[in-house]
């Protein structure tokens, strides 16, 4: 499995293999801005689907980089996680994305 380097400004995505030995910082070949690294679950929309790219940008800005998000997390009385249930789907429209961020904010990556 790999990940994708994504330019949210140009709406382009490039597949990249995992290289755990070195940090990869990529620059967009078109606009020369830094690219964002997203996990393998990300399926890029077509470049012309601007509304879907706005959703992607919103999710990334709120700490969701297309890794697995759990629908249910069970905790014991001490607050320790005891089990996970079902992956949830990433949204593809802004209304659903706002609900997604609110509902799963405890699973967001901290910037």
> What residue has token string 């697995």?
68
**Which of the four pLDDT bands, split at 50, 70 and 90, describes residue 88?**
confident
Cα separation, 60 vs 38, whole angstroms: 8
State which residues form the domain around 49. Answer: 2-107
Range 9-22 average pLDDT: 76
Could you give the angle at the alpha carbon of 32 between the alpha carbons of 26 and 38, nearest 5°? 40
Question: Cα dist. 24→35, 43, 66 in Å?
Answer: 10, 20, 18
The number of domains in the chain is 1
Task: Classify residue 11 by burial, with Cβ atoms within 10 Å: 0-12, 13-18, 19+.
Answer: buried
pTM metric for this prediction: 0.82
């Amino acid at each position: 499995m790999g990940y994708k380097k994504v330019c949210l400004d140009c709406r382009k995505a490039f597949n990249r293999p995992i290289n755990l030995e070195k940090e990869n910082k990529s620059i967009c070949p078109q606009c020369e801005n830094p690219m964002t690294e997203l996990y393998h679950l990300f399926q890029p929309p077509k470049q012309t689907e601007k509304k879907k790219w706005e959703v992607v940008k919103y999710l990334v800005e709120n700490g969701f980089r297309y890794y697995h998000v759990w629908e249910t997390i069970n905790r014991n009385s001490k607050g320790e996680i005891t089990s996970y249930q079902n992956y949830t789907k990433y949204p593809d429209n802004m209304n659903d994305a706002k609900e997604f961020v609110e509902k799963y904010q405890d699973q967001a990556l901290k910037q």
